[in-house]
């Protein structure tokens, strides 16, 4: 009889294409056998009874800020990666900011890689930055393994990660196109946002509503239209991050239809939180682009149902609670960033699958399969198939829970999702065949888990 390292028995196996009942056998970090409708005749060092539960490919979170090295007081790789594991995420892409130094050259990339090798309990990849001073470093960063490049079209809020002017981004896109990589863009208009913010603040209009109005949807649309024209001129593959409105998504869909190589991401907070949450939760719910109204939220779900959105990513951008305080009612003063890496699957199951009847297969496509395909990791990751990496999460859709601060593995145990009731709970997260999270706890395994 065949001996495996791990067998998961009698679970509902969900991929982007189908859901089947069966067993999964794992050995040396790989899925070696999948049985359908019958018990696998084999033994293993460990077996998991998944009867009544669903087995999903581990999520791939393409957008997190773990801030290490340099700002581990905000969040670090150890706490950040554990929070991902608790949320069913098995691979993440760490952004080049808010680390200090930022990942804008090979030397800084190696610092981040060393920290990740030592501390991460899940798989990782890195974004490289595109800033005015590093166009000459793009090729070397690519050769040393960055998954792509990230640029800001408006100020990032981080002093050592400058946003790009039009000339810089055009030159950078030409270089990125020449090496076959892609550019991810924070697309908001500097002119529109700065002018409106100055006008609001000069009139002492600093409420949540005023902050949102200072960063209107048209500021995203203007920036997206501009960057799409540069993509058409340079041939650079483009990925628009954290789109907050279907109006933005429509611009991208039109570009796709005329042959532009472009994809778009939105985030769980735009699918579950609104301006009302910003008003009630204060700086905890502040982000850029900002939360929109209920109508925009529902329109984003329509875009998802219609297949207009490619990826769901958390944009986990944590900070100490003191930095999230709204001082004297001034929403312009608080740090903008949502702590949400642990809750992506919870939001997609509750708001998507249960509340809006979104198929589980679509949830898997948006959170695992599409990211894997977009970034060249498929079928090694992003699916459940023989010889794919054994990156899996087992969820119990029958269980509901209210998220409490003590449930969070973040360095700072706060999130706008605290207090929310979710349907569907992660029981087990498996990374490269190793059980990393089980029944609310991170396992004691501290050895290196990833092969970069």
DSSP calls for 301-323: HHHHHTT---EE---B----GGG
Is residue 128 within 8 A of residue 150, CB to CB? The reply is yes
Beta-bridged to residue 20, according to DSSP, are: 13
Is residue 26 within a helix (H) or strand (E), and if so which, with residue range? strand 19-27
What does DSSP say about strands 421-431 and 392-402: parallel, antiparallel, or unpaired?
antiparallel
List of residues 6+ apart from 278 with CB closer than 8 A: 208, 211, 212, 285, 286, 290, 291, 331
pLDDT at residue 447, rounded to an integer: 43
Nearest-angstrom CA–CA distance, 10 and 239: 38
pLDDT at residue 130, rounded to an integer: 98
Is residue 38 within 8 A of residue 24, CB to CB? The reply is no
pLDDT at residue 445, rounded to an integer: 56
What does DSSP say about strands 148-152 and 54-57: parallel, antiparallel, or unpaired?
unpaired
List of residues 6+ apart from 406 with CB closer than 8 A: 413
List, run by run, the mean pLDDT of 10-residue segments along the chain (452 residues): 93 98 97 91 95 98 96 95 98 96 97 96 98 97 98 92 95 98 98 97 97 98 98 98 98 98 98 98 97 98 98 97 94 96 98 98 98 98 98 98 97 97 98 96 62 39
> For every residue of 34-50, which 3-state class applies, written as one string?
EEECCCCCEEEEEEEEC
Same fold, 2-55+385-442 and 58-374: no
367 three-class SS:
helix
Nearest-angstrom CA–CA distance, 181 and 138: 10
- At which residue do the structure tokens 């059980």 appear? 435
Q: pTM value?
A: 0.96
Is residue 40 within 8 A of residue 395, CB to CB? The reply is no
Euclidean distance between the first and final Cα of the chain, in Å?
33
Is residue 93 within 8 A of residue 126, CB to CB? The reply is yes
Assign domain 58-374 to its CATH superfamily.
Metal-dependent hydrolases (3.20.20.140)
Distances (CA, A) of 99 to 70, 76, 351: 5, 10, 32
Nearest-angstrom CA–CA distance, 391 and 373: 15
Beta-bridged to residue 151, according to DSSP, are: 185
* Count of positions (residues) in the chain: 452
Phi/psi at 304 (nearest 5 deg)?
Answer: -65, -50
- Residue 338 has what DSSP assignment? B
7 three-class SS:
strand
Q: Which CATH number fits domain 2-55+385-442: 2.30.40.10, 3.30.200.20, 3.90.1070.10, 3.40.50.620?
A: 2.30.40.10
Q: Strand ranges (DSSP E) for 284-391?
A: 311-312
- The count of other CB atoms within 10 Å of the CB of residue 439 is 8
Beta-bridged to residue 43, according to DSSP, are: 3
For the chain, give every domain's residue range: 2-55+385-442, 58-374
- At which residue do the structure tokens 């790789």 appear? 77
Nearest-angstrom CA–CA distance, 406 and 108: 34
């Amino acid at each position: 009889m065949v001996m495996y390292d791990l067998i998961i028995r009698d679970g509902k196996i969900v991929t982007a294409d189908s859901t089947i009942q069966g067993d999964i056998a794992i050995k040396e970090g790989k899925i070696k056998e999948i049985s359908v409708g019958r018990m696998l005749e084999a033994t293993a060092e460990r077996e998991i009874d998944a009867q009544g539960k669903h087995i999903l490919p581990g999520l791939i979170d393409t957008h997190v800020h773990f801030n290490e090295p340099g700002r581990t007081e905000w969040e670090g790789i150890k706490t950040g990666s554990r929070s991902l594991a608790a949320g069913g995420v098995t691979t993440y892409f760490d952004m080049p900011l808010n680390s200090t130094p930022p990942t804008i050259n090979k030397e800084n990339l190696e610092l981040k890689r060393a920290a990740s090798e030592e501390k991460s309990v899940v798989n990782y990849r890195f974004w490289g930055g595109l800033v005015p001073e590093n166009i000459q470093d793009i090729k070397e960063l690519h050769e040393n393994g960055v998954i792509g490049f990230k640029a800001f079209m408006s100020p990032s809020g981080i002093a050592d990660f400058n946003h790009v002017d039009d000339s810089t981004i055009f030159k950078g896109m030409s270089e990125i196109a020449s090496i076959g990589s892609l550019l991810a863009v924070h697309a908001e208009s500097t002119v529109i946002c700065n002018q409106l913010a100055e006008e609001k603040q000069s009139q002492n209009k600093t409420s949540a509503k005023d902050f949102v109005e200072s960063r209107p949807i048209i500021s995203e649309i203007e920036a997206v239209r501009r960057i799409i024209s540069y993509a058409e001129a340079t041939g650079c593959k483009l990925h628009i991050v954290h789109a907050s409105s279907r109006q933005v998504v429509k611009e991208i869909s039109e570009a796709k239809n005329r042959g532009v190589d472009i994809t778009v991401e939105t985030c769980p907070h735009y699918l579950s939180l609104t301006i009302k949450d910003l008003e009630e939760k204060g700086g905890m719910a502040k982000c850029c682009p900002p939360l929109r109204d209920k109508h925009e939220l529902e329109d984003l779900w329509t875009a998802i149902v219609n297949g207009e959105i490619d990826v769901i990513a958390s944009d986990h951008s944590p900070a100490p609670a003191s930095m999230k305080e709204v001082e004297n009612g001034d929403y312009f003063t608080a740090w903008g960033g949502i702590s949400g890496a642990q809750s992506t699957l919870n939001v997609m199951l509750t708001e998507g699958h249960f509340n809006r009847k979104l198929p589980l297969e679509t949830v898997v496509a948006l959170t695992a399969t599409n990211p894997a395909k977009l970034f060249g990791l498929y079928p090694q990751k992003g699916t459940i198939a023989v010889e794919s990496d054994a990156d899996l999460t087992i969820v119990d859709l029958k269980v509901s829970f209210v998220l409490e601060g003590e449930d969070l593995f973040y360095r700072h145990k706060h999130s706008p999702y605290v207090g929310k009731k979710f349907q569907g709970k992660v029981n087990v997260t498996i990374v490269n065949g190793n059980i990393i999270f089980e029944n609310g706890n991170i396992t004691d395994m501290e050895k290196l888990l990833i092969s970069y």
